[in-house]
Structure 1
């Protein structure tokens, strides 16, 4: 039987646990545990959550998110998190972990921003790179704020205020792209990785991909010859490659077309040690595209 002091202490512990559960907070430090399946979702979760959340990105800096394999510790993080922000069919290991451990606290990004259809190697699929349209990412960030507010009503105003500020910043990036790409000599971007479909659609460009949506896909010799011919026809001056993918094929095409290579970042993951963020990289990408297309 409890003595009175022990009973009071036990009641206090139970009350503290109940309050943490009601507020959605983690008992360790009072912040919500949020798991992001890739960098863009980490960025918006941190911006919306501020100091009220602790965000863990499942993908290490410099790693390809497509190739993610979860550790036991990461699977436990997914199970214990208050919110998991992910995109189905982008990272199969995350899909499996969510299905088994996080159905009741996972946010499916595609549920609020339906993905575009693509055809890759003759098979129909979905393009996951929705964050490269900043207006779509703004809508996703708004939904992250709504979910955090429901989990943690005490800090709801803060989540929604920060989401509003982030939405405004993304709208500003959208306007910069629209103005910067309004008058260009060319509209065709040749990319090593077909990740820029949403960006191209938003700003009335045409993407010509060397490879499909998988960044490590190797194009056939026939495909390379076709792209060289197309690049020459449209007088492309730049073939875009990216930091996390070998530039060899892009360099081969650039040499054949009399062009040069430049990096265009799909912002799937930050390079190790980078101090950049989504907004800075998007603006850098805009500068690269403007130079490549001869925009005034």
Structure 2
């Protein structure tokens, strides 16, 4: 009902909310759907925008249900930054003329292909986890700078400059990941759910997800399949994540004779920020995959 109300109200408001916000002399209100987009919006928007995030720290983004205040925030925003396919409630609430679907800025990868009965991991045909490839996120930063400049022309150059700076920082991170993962003994990445397709594609790793959906338990057949593959390819670590129960990964690790480690998909705010969390992921991967310095 809330999503339906959001659609009706945003259709009535159109782009008028954005115009009123920027014309009044106050900072444009920008809504980010979840953490990586919040971080990116804060970097590009800087002090010229007010950023609100829909998904609280520690909350699994895929499970988000919008409250009345969040729907109101979307309606009143100059721009809502989201990724279609991650949060259906947000997909339903945004208005086309005051939203930026970050996935439209990059080339996508297809969604995983081993979905089991009952799994509903994504509502789109592509993998939406684009933020785990810094190179793609740099492209999104550039486009976001353009969209913010269109919503707030008085600060267009500032947005463009900050977007370029952010893209540069992401480019540096990309180079570090490429160098750090180029000499790994093992290239197979066994993860609790298939969130790391873009990272694997970018750095020539092979992702094997136990499930497509972090909320679904895999079938015995799927566990057996992944265990057999893990043994054959010498996998020593099964990756889990902080917002998902490690139970299934631990069962698989015991079967394979491996250990578990946390690999952060950055769907929620980490202890540091996006850049430091990705560098922590790099260290975790280097240890688990036997990468030489």
What is the TM-score normalised by the length of structure 1? Answer: 0.87
Task: Give the structure 2 partner of residue 25 of structure 1.
Answer: 22
Q: Does the alignment pair 1:134 with 2:130?
A: no
Match of 1:70 in 2: 66
| Structure 1 residue ranges without an equivalent (≥5) | 1-19
Distance in 2 (alpha carbons) for counterparts of 1:26 and 1:285: 42
Q: 1: distance between equivalents of 2:64 and 2:189? A: 28
Secondary structure, in 3 states, of the residue corresponding to 2:193?
coil
> 2:115 matched to which residue of 1?
121
Structure 2 counterpart of 1:110: 103
After superposition, the CA RMSD in angstroms is 1.8
Q: Match for residue 10 of structure 2?
A: none
What is aligned with 1:168? 168
- Structure 2: how far apart are the matches of 1:244 and 1:76? 27
8 Å Cα contact 2:40/2:141 also seen in 1? yes
Greater Rg, structure 1 or structure 2? 1
* Residues in 2 aligned to 1:231 and 1:78: alpha-carbon distance in whole angstroms: 44
Contact 1:24–1:151, Cα closer than 8 Å, also in 2:
no
**Using the alignment, how far apart are the partners of 1:47 and 1:120 within structure 2?**
36
Q: Deviations over 1:117-145 (max 9, x none)?
A: 12252698321100100010011111111
Counterparts of 1:89-238 in structure 2, within 5 Å, are 89-98=85-94, 102-118=95-111, 119-121=113-115, 125-212=125-212, 214-238=213-237
Structure 2 unaligned segments of length 5 or more: list them: 1-16
Q: Residues of 2 paired with 1:81 and 1:26: CA distance? A: 13
- Measured against aligned partners, the alpha-carbon deviations of 1:227-281 in whole angstroms (never above 9, x if no partner) come to 12211111111100000000000001111111110000111112xxx53111011
Q: 1:114 offset after TM fit, Å? A: 3.6
Query: Deviation at 1:26?
Result: 7.2
How many residues are paired up? 269
SS in 2 for 1:117: coil
Deviation larger for 43-52 or 155-164: 155-164
- Separation (CA, whole Å) in 2 of partners of 1:32 and 1:66: 27
Residue equivalent to 2:254: 255
Q: Which of 83, 87, 102 is the aligned partner of 1:87?
A: 83
Cα deviation for residue 21 of structure 1 reads 7.1
State the alpha-carbon separation in 2 of the partners of residues 225 and 22 from structure 1: 56
Distance 2:65 2:136 in 1: 27
Q: CA deviation at 1:164?
A: 1.1
Q: 1:34 aligns with which of 10, 30, 37?
A: 30
Counterpart-to-counterpart distance in 2, 1:165 and 1:36: 20
Question: What residue in structure 1 maps to residue 273 of structure 2?
Answer: 277
Distance 1:250 1:35 in 2: 34
